[in-house]
Structure 1
Amino acid sequence: MAGSWPHHDLPSSRSSLPPAYDSIVHDDNNNGTGHLPPVLLTHEQLQGRAYDGGSAAAILQVAQHHGQQQQQGQHHVRQQQQQQQQLNLELLVSSDPAGSISSGGQDVYETCCVLQNRFLLLGHVTQGVQLLDLAKNDKRPITLLWMRVKQILAIHKSRIVLMMPAGRGKRVRCYSLDALLCLCHAACNLPYDAPLPDLAAWQSLGTKKAADAIQPGRVRLSGNLRLVENGGTPAYVCDGVVLQDYYYKLPGCSKDCISMHTYQTTAYVFVAVLQRDQQIVVWQQRLTLYSPLVRHKNYWVPTEPRAIAFADDRATLRYLVAVFPSEATVIGLRNCQVHLIPVDMAKLQDLAQSAHRLDYYEQNHHLNDPPALSPLQWTSLLQLPFYPDGLPATSLTTAYSNPPAYTTVMAALPSGAPPDPVAVPSTVAPQLFLATLGRQSFIIDLSGSLFSTAVYCWSQDPDQIEFVRLQGAWCAVGFGSSCVEIIHLSTTKRVHRIMNGVPVRYLGRSEQALLWTCAVQHKVQLYMLRIE
C-alpha cells in the first residue's frame, strides 16, 4: 500500500501561489519558466549533473534541461491534481483578514465542528461562530453566534453541542443540536421542520434540579429568520424564539477552562474538562433524549498537563490519561488512583537517535552526521483505535511475540535465515497506545512496555495527532507548527507532507474529515481532508 503513495515535500511559502497539496512552489528567480512549478530532482539526477558551466556543451545541456523542466512541470501539475483527488483534499476558504497568523497575530480560526456532514461551524477570533455550507460552491461564512469560542464539540447521539467560550469568567455551554440545525437551515434559506425542545425546559437542564426536571416539550418553528438586537448583541429570532438562547452552562464548571474531551459508550457520554485550577472535571450523560450532563467526579493534578485523554481496556472506560513533560500517568476513573507509566527512557532515546539518523540520511542524501537529539520529553499518549498487526513480526518485542514453532525451526534450511517469531494474538494483548516524545512516536502499553522497536519520525513536534484511514490503511496525521504530515502506521514511512513551511493550526475533525488552516502571503486558507 505504501508503494502507491509517493512522498513529496512542500517548500516554504516564498511564492504567491497558495500552498496546495504536495505542490512545488515556483521560484521567483526562475528566469522565464513562468508559473510552471520546478521539478524535484532525485538524488541520482543531482549526482549526474556534473558539467563545466563555461563550455558550449554545458550551455546546450542547460537549455535542454530547461525545456525538459517545462514539460516535466506540466506533468507534475497533472500528477498533483490526480494525487489531490486520491486524498480528497479541498481548499474551502482563502481570505485576507487582518491579524492573521501569517502576520504574527492571532489565529483567524481557532476551532471547528461539522453538523450533519454539511454545516461547518467555525470559531473566528473576531467574528464569532461562523457557518459554512459545505454543499454550496460559493462558500462564504455567515456569522451565527457573536462570541469567541476556543473549542466546539458535537455529540450527535445525545443531540448536544458543547462550546467553550474564550476568556476568563466564562463556563462551558451546552447547546441544543436541534436548535443549531434549525439556525443553520434558516440562515442558508433551507427548509427545516424538525421539532425543537421547549426553550425554558432546555435551559432548566443546567440547574441543580435537572435530574428531576420534566422532559422538554416539542415545538415547531416556521423557519422565517430575522436578525435583531438582543441586549446589545445581534441575534437570530424565529417565531419570537431566540435560537442562540438554546443553551445551559455546565453546573459546577470552572470559569477558566483549557480543553474538552469526549468519550462515548453504548449507554453514556463522558465529557472531561481540563481547568486551570489544576483539576480535571468529568461529566456523564445518558444517551437518551434531553438527559442532563451530571458531574461525575473531580480529579486533581499537580500541575497543568500538556494533554489529557480517555482510555479503555477494550471493553470498559477505565482511565484518564494525563501527560506532563517529564512523565505520563493514568488516573482510575472509579478509584482516582494514579499510576505512572514506567517507560525505559534510555531505550527510547537510543531507538529515537537511530531512527533520527536514518531519517536524516534519507531526507538529505548525504552521510554527514545529523545533529544530536535533545532529551526526550512527553508530548501525548493516544489510544490506538486498532491493533497494529501489520507491523513486521521481526520488529515486535519479546513481550508481544513468541518464538517460531519447533517444526518450523527444524524444517528451515541451515543456510537460510532463521524463521521469524510469531506475533501474540491481538485477542490476548492489552490495549496499545501511541506515545509521542518530541519528534518521535512509539507504540507501548500502559505498563510502559514497547510493542515494537518501530519508530515514527516527525519533522516537527506534533501539536496534534489524529488517526485516520486513507486508501484502506491506518495512518497518523501529525500537525506541527508549520507542516502537516501523514505517516503509514504499518510501514512507519512518511507518505505525504501536505503542508510545509507555512504556519498551520489544527481546527478539529468530523466523522469524514480533518480540518486545519494555514497562512501564506497574508492569506489564511482553510483546508479539509476527507477520510474513510
Structure 2
Amino acid sequence: MLTDRHKQIRCYSYDAILKLIYGVLSLDWSTRRDKAYDVPSLKDWQQVATKSALNTLPEEEDDVPISNINSFSLSLKERLAKKQKEKVPVNKQSCFLVDQPALSKPYYVCDNLILQEFYYKLSDSKESIDIQIYQTSSYLFVAVLHRDKIVLWQKKRDHPLRHFYKFKVFWIPTEAKSIAFADDRTTLRHIIVVFTTEATSIELRDSKVQSVAIDSTLRRVYEATWVREQFEHHLVQPRQFNPNSNSISLSESCNLPYPSLPASVSIPPIQWTLMQQLPFYPDDLPPTTLTTDYSIPPSYTTVITALPTSAPPDPVALPSAAAPQLFFATFSKQSFIIDITGNLYSTQVYRWTEAPNHIEFIQLDMNINRWYAVGFGPTTVEVLGMKTGKLIQKVMHGASVKFLGRWNETVIGEDKKTRIRFKSLVWSCAAKERSHVYMLWNQ
C-alpha cells in the first residue's frame, strides 16, 4: 500500500490482515472459507522481509546466509502486548485489544501475534508518487513512481511467502503525473508514463522510449468541446430570481444563439492527465464516430441491398484481431480512445465534471459487451457509458474523494472458460472531519 510520501511502501501479509478483521469482528478464524493458507510464523515472515531487503533474486533464495536472518527483537509495542497477554485469563478469547497511553494507536493481539506488524517495507521507496500493480498467472509486478525514476518490482505467485525484489529501474527526465501498465493481450510490454505536456511508453525489455503523439483530429475535437463547454457554462449560470418571469429549461436555453467569447479568453493548451489501457475492444461505438484507421467499408451485401433513397450504409469497426491495443487518454476533463502511438480511434468525447485522478472500467454483466467508465475526481465520482459517452450517474459530488481499490472474482462463463467478473469498487469520502468508506456493488 502507498502511505505518506515520506514513508516507505509497506507490503502486508494478506492472511494476517484477514485474521485481524476476523478478530475485530469477533469471528471464529476456524470458520473461514479458504483454509488453504494461514498466518505465517514470525520466523517465516522475517525471512521474507530479509530477502526483499537484500533484493535476493528467486534463483538465489537458497543462498541467503543464516547470519543475515536476524531474530526478531521485541519492540515496545510487542513488549507491552506480551505483558498484557500475561494478565489475560485462559478462559478469555484469543484476540484482545491493547490500548495504552504509551502506544500511538491500539493494537490487536491474536494468538500471541500482533497482526498489524506483519509487513515489510520496499527498500528506497520513500517519496513515492504513484503505485500500479499488474499480475499474470506466474508473476506479480509493482511499478513505483518517484520524482526522477520508476522502480519495477517483481515476485513469483507460486507461494504466499515469496518476496518482492527489484527488477528494473527506469529514469525519467521530470516528475510524472501518473503511470500505467500495458500489454499486447498476452505479455506485459510497456509502462505508460504521463507528464503534463506529453505521454510516453517505455518498452520493458530494452527500455526504449516512444512518445505518444496527439492526433490532429483529437486536438480539433478537444478545442471544439472546450469552447462548447464555455457556452454551456454561460447559459446555465444562475440568474437573479424573478417571480414574474417564466422559467427556462436547459434544452430551451440551448436553442438560444451562442454568445461570443470575450477577446481575452483563449483556448488553453491541451494537457495530459491519464492514459490507461482499455480492458475491452469498443467495437459497439457509433459507426459514424470511428476514424478511417479503425473502420472498414460495409459488406458488399449491405451495399447492394440498401435502398437507393436511403442514406449510405455506415462503416463498421475494424475487427479486434486486426487492431492494436487501445487506450483511454484523458486531457483535463475530456477523455478519448487512442492507440499507443496516439492515433485516434473514435471522435466520441467522454466529458467529466472535473479532471479525474483515477478511472476504472466495469462490466456489470460479463455476457453483455456493455462497459462503463467510473471516474474518481478530487470531489466527484461519476459513471459514464462507454458506448454513448453520456453521464449515467453522478454518485458523489462536493466531498473529498479517494479511490481505494477494486474487487474482482473468478467465475466460469457460459462458454465454460474462466472469466474475471467485476464485483465492486471501494473509495473513501472525507466530510466534517470524518472519513466514510463507500462501495459500488455489482450484485
TM-score, normalised by the number of residues in structure 1: 0.62
| Amino acid in the other structure paired with 1:166 | D
SS at match of 2:363: strand
Q: Among 267, 283, 296, which residue is 2:153 paired with?
A: 283
Aligned to 2:80: none
Aligned to 2:209: 338
Alpha-carbon deviation of 1:478?
1.4
Q: Are the structure 2 counterparts of residues 266 and 500 from structure 1 closer, same or farther at C-alpha, using a change threshold of 3 Å?
A: same
Contact persistence 2:273–2:330 (CA under 8 A): yes
Aligned to 1:319: 190
SS at match of 2:273: strand
Aligned to 1:486: 383
SS at match of 1:399: helix
Alpha-carbon deviation of 1:407?
4.5
Cα shift readout 1:28-55 (whole Å, capped 9, x = no counterpart): xxxxxxxxxxxxxxxxxxxxxxxxxxxx
Aligned to 1:228: 98
SS at match of 1:244: helix
| Amino acid in the other structure paired with 1:190 | L
1:75-474 matches, cutoff 5 A: 163-168=1-6, 170-193=7-30, 194=35, 195-207=38-50, 208=54, 209=56, 211=58, 212=61, 224-228=94-98, 232-233=103-104, 234-250=106-122, 252-276=123-147, 278-289=148-159, 290-344=161-215, 346-356=216-226, 361=232, 364-365=250-251, 366=253, 367=256, 368-369=258-259, 373-470=267-364, 473-474=370-371
Contact persistence 1:210–1:292 (CA under 8 A): no
Q: Are the structure 2 counterparts of residues 490 and 244 from structure 1 closer, same or farther at C-alpha, using a change threshold of 3 Å?
A: same
Alpha-carbon deviation of 1:374?
2.4
Aligned to 1:21: none
Alpha-carbon deviation of 1:521?
6.4
TM-score, normalised by the number of residues in structure 2: 0.74
Alpha-carbon deviation of 1:314?
0.7
Q: Which has the higher contact order (CA 8 A, sep 6+)?
A: 1
The whole-number CA distance in structure 2 between the counterparts of 1:504 and 1:323 is 22
Alpha-carbon deviation of 1:356?
4.5
Moved more, 191-200 or 402-411: 402-411
Q: Are the structure 2 counterparts of residues 167 and 443 from structure 1 closer, same or farther at C-alpha, using a change threshold of 3 Å?
A: closer
Post-superposition, which runs of at least 4 consecutive aligned residues in structure 1 deviate over 6 A?
Answer: none
Cα shift readout 1:439-471 (whole Å, capped 9, x = no counterpart): 111100012111111111112111221111246
Q: Are the structure 2 counterparts of residues 298 and 191 from structure 1 closer, same or farther at C-alpha, using a change threshold of 3 Å?
A: same
Alpha-carbon deviation of 1:284?
1.0
Cα shift readout 1:356-392 (whole Å, capped 9, x = no counterpart): 5566659743233486642210000011111101102
Alpha-carbon deviation of 1:228?
3.3
Matched, 1:529 2:440: yes
The whole-number CA distance in structure 2 between the counterparts of 1:288 and 1:456 is 40
Q: Are the structure 2 counterparts of residues 274 and 478 from structure 1 closer, same or farther at C-alpha, using a change threshold of 3 Å?
A: same
Q: Are the structure 2 counterparts of residues 181 and 210 from structure 1 closer, same or farther at C-alpha, using a change threshold of 3 Å?
A: farther
Aligned to 2:426: 515
The runs of 5 or more residues in structure 2 that have no matched partner are: 70-91, 237-249, 409-422
Contact persistence 1:357–1:369 (CA under 8 A): no
Q: Are the structure 2 counterparts of residues 369 and 461 from structure 1 closer, same or farther at C-alpha, using a change threshold of 3 Å?
A: farther
Contact persistence 2:218–2:344 (CA under 8 A): no
Aligned to 2:415: none
The whole-number CA distance in structure 2 between the counterparts of 1:297 and 1:224 is 43
The whole-number CA distance in structure 2 between the counterparts of 1:316 and 1:433 is 16
Cα shift readout 1:177-206 (whole Å, capped 9, x = no counterpart): 111111111121111135321212212112
The whole-number CA distance in structure 2 between the counterparts of 1:275 and 1:436 is 21
Contact persistence 2:143–2:153 (CA under 8 A): yes
| Amino acid in the other structure paired with 1:482 | T
Q: Are the structure 2 counterparts of residues 434 and 351 from structure 1 closer, same or farther at C-alpha, using a change threshold of 3 Å?
A: same
The whole-number CA distance in structure 2 between the counterparts of 1:401 and 1:167 is 45
SS at match of 2:47: helix
Q: Are the structure 2 counterparts of residues 284 and 502 from structure 1 closer, same or farther at C-alpha, using a change threshold of 3 Å?
A: closer
Contact persistence 1:483–1:500 (CA under 8 A): yes
| Cα RMSD, aligned residues only | 2.8
The whole-number CA distance in structure 2 between the counterparts of 1:300 and 1:509 is 29
Contact persistence 1:319–1:330 (CA under 8 A): yes
Moved more, 324-333 or 409-418: 409-418
The whole-number CA distance in structure 1 between the counterparts of 2:399 and 2:13 is 37
SS at match of 1:420: coil
The whole-number CA distance in structure 2 between the counterparts of 1:225 and 1:282 is 37
The whole-number CA distance in structure 1 between the counterparts of 2:202 and 2:389 is 30
Q: Are the structure 2 counterparts of residues 167 and 332 from structure 1 closer, same or farther at C-alpha, using a change threshold of 3 Å?
A: closer
Moved more, 334-343 or 317-326: 334-343
Alpha-carbon deviation of 1:492?
1.1
The whole-number CA distance in structure 1 between the counterparts of 2:41 and 2:63 is 11
Name the % identity: 44
The whole-number CA distance in structure 1 between the counterparts of 2:357 and 2:119 is 31
The whole-number CA distance in structure 1 between the counterparts of 2:330 and 2:2 is 27
The whole-number CA distance in structure 1 between the counterparts of 2:380 and 2:13 is 35
Q: Are the structure 2 counterparts of residues 434 and 370 from structure 1 closer, same or farther at C-alpha, using a change threshold of 3 Å?
A: farther
Moved more, 363-372 or 502-511: 363-372
The whole-number CA distance in structure 2 between the counterparts of 1:266 and 1:470 is 24
The whole-number CA distance in structure 2 between the counterparts of 1:404 and 1:519 is 51
